Amino acid sequence: MRANIKDVSQAAGVSIKTVSRVINNERYVRPATRARVEEAMAALGFQPSQAARALAGGRSFQIALVCSNPGPYYLHGLIGGLRGRCAAEGVRLIVHAYETETDELGADVLGFFRQMGFDGAILTPPIADNEPVLDELERAGTPYVRISPGAQLDRGPSVSIDNEGAARAMTRKLIDLGHRRIGFVVGHEGFSVSRQRLDGYLNALRECGVTSDGALIRQGWFDFRSGQAAAEQLLALKERPTAIFASSDDMAAGVLSVAHQQALRVPRQLSIAGFDDTDLASLVWPGLTTVRQPIREMAEKAAELLFSGSDERVVMPAELIERASTGPRPA
């Protein structure tokens, strides 16, 4: 049987409260006593029960990461960014990935949060904008940090990039390169960043006096396949775009794959731009520019806000990354 706190207290000849003090690194324990207790703990291979600590202490030593249908790089960046701080704080990371499609209202997530007091939560779109979920969290007194919120903006701490601004800058860059027909692949409808990025694109066109053409705007779903589908449609237009801006990395990769296929016949005529949670996609097409969304750094920052109890709203810089200075220009 596993040793418990009582066994340790007896072995060390102290009360359980003193053992508890040692476990929690509290003050008011004489060094000699502490040493004796630690010795006993080691000898018995004692590890405190998380369940008991959670019940008695009202802390679960767990935080939740909630995200919907995350792409591989996004998920990887989030977990990579959270990992270190969680370990340092002695806290477990519960990953709750759920289907947006089958649970539009977030009922699943609501149930998830009602079930037990987490010590904190990291929320990503679109659940980050879900009012009932935020209400529930606040009611339960669970601190949370939102990543890229798009609604309820005056509510609690968050980390984001300036999506509209980044998309605008990217579009302007394409315009500066001489492009006038720029295809745009919109992200998933349920995510507010999709709208923000589209707005950036439209605003840049308007500001630069470029007429926008609805035929150049295609709905995507943040995934590879929808990027492919959009690219196929765009490249089949009578008046082809000379550049395509896909508003996520998976979609950009989809566009890229189509471009590669078509490049067998029409090589490298196309500028491609994308939002990017990594730098993988940015290396396989000469005329590629991406807005790097520093998702890992955003997650790190989110962890920092969560554990420090800050309620800052942090906007991180998004970097425009050009792989080839010799990107193609339209004929």
Q: Which residues bind DNA (CB under 7 A)?
A: 2, 4-6, 13-18, 20-21, 23-24, 27-30, 32-34, 46, 48-49, 51-53, 55-58
Token pair of 233 as six digits? 């449609």
- For residue 3, the SS3 value is coil
Residue from the set 45, 209, 214, 309 that interacts with its own copies by CB under 8 A:
45
Residues 80/122, Cβ–Cβ less than 8 Å: no
In sequence order, which residues have a C-beta less than 8 Å from that of residue 30 and are 6 or more positions away?
none
How far apart are CB 114 and DNA at their closest, in Å?
12
45 binds, among DNA, its own copies, none (CB under 5 to 8 A by kind): its own copies
33 binds, among its own copies, DNA, none (CB under 5 to 8 A by kind): DNA
The type of residue at 90 is: G
6 binds, among its own copies, DNA, none (CB under 5 to 8 A by kind): DNA
Rounded to the nearest 5 percent, the helix, strand and coil shares of the chain are 45, 15, 35
Stretch 110-129: interaction string toward its own copies, x if CB under 8 A? ----xxx-------------
How far apart are CB 270 and its own copies at their closest, in Å?
14
Residues 65/94, Cβ–Cβ less than 8 Å: yes
CA atoms of 28 and 215, how far apart (whole Å): 72
Residue from the set 93, 169, 314, 321 that interacts with its own copies by CB under 8 A:
93
Looking up tokens 């997530």 gives: 109
Cβ nearer to its own copies, comparing 119 with 129: 119
Residues 12/39, Cβ–Cβ less than 8 Å: yes
Looking up tokens 């935080």 gives: 63
165 binds, among its own copies, DNA, none (CB under 5 to 8 A by kind): none
Residues 64/122, Cβ–Cβ less than 8 Å: yes
79 part of the interface to its own copies, by CB under 8 A:
yes
- For residue 148, the SS3 value is coil
75 binds, among its own copies, DNA, none (CB under 5 to 8 A by kind): its own copies
CA atoms of 133 and 107, how far apart (whole Å): 9
The interface with its own copies within residues 263-292 (CB under 8 A) comprises: 264, 278, 280, 283-286
33 part of the interface to its own copies, by CB under 8 A:
no
Looking up tokens 């706190």 gives: 5
Q: Which spans of this chain sit near its own copies (rule: CB under 8 A)?
A: 2, 45, 47-52, 54-55, 60, 62, 70-73, 75-76, 79-80, 83, 87, 92-98, 108, 114-116, 140, 224, 253, 256-257, 260-261, 264, 278, 280, 283-286
